Amino acid sequence: MGLTQGLLSTMVAQSAPPALKGTAFGFFNLMSGLAMLVASVVAGELWDRFGASATFYAGAGFCVATLFVLASGTTTRSGKA
């Protein structure tokens, strides 16, 4: 999270209309917090039910799935590659 927090905050600041910047940052932080909460609960359940290795295998699986998604959609914001 330390590597991406500044970049994501910049994206929010650049894409939000000036009158809604506070709302945009609030919504961004709400969604980030909810995502971290869900991820922590899922990781805890995996750890409790299947052991430590299952948690790390699931993390590796999510990373590989993300790489496939990123590799398959190489368009830019304007829709051009």
**Confidence (pTM):** 0.71
Structure confidence at residue 76 as a pLDDT band (50, 70, 90): low
pLDDT at 8 over 70: yes
CA 42 to chain centre: 15
Q: What is the pLDDT of residue 42?
A: 95
- Token digits for 31? 């969604």
Q: What is the pLDDT of residue 2?
A: 75
- The string of pLDDT tens digits covering residues 37-64 is 999 999 999 999 999 999 999 999 999 9
CA distances from residue 75 to 10, 23, 47, 79 in whole angstroms, order as listed: 20, 28, 37, 5
Spell out the domain ranges in the chain: 5-72
